[in-house]
Amino acid sequence: MRFPSLHTALSLVAAVTLAGHAQAGPLVYGVCQAGCSVAVVTCYTAAGFTFGTVLAAAAPPAILACNAAQAACFASCAALAFAPTP
């Protein structure tokens, strides 16, 4: 019977030890960003506008509120990018 090399054994131990600490942060971050985008498009539609067609200088208060909500949503997603996911 041949024993594995020390390097192989240490690699196996490290892989088994770290397997329980998987992170899906980038995936969760992307899903969160998509949710924020859906919400801002819905907000624009409720205000009677099409997302991406309003000039910033001529934006009514409802659109400014939608933009602020989108910024807050994106900021909250940033914390998820590094959060461990079981």
The C-alpha atoms of residue 55 and residue 39 are separated, in whole angstroms, by 19
Phi-psi region of 20 (alpha: psi -120 to 50; beta: other; left: phi over 0): alpha
- The model's pTM is 0.64
Is 61 contained in some domain? yes
The C-alpha atoms of residue 12 and residue 14 are separated, in whole angstroms, by 5
Is 12 contained in some domain? no
Mean pLDDT across the stretch 40-63?
A: 89
Residue 19 has pLDDT above 80, yes or no: no
Is 41 contained in some domain? yes
What's the domain count of the chain? Answer: 1
Is 40 contained in some domain? yes
**Cβ neighbours around 49 below 10 Å, total:** 16
Percent of the chain whose pLDDT exceeds 70:
67
Q: What is the pLDDT of residue 26?
A: 76
The C-alpha atoms of residue 84 and residue 86 are separated, in whole angstroms, by 6
Largest Cα–Cα distance of the chain, in whole Å? 78
Q: Which domain holds residue 34?
A: 22-82
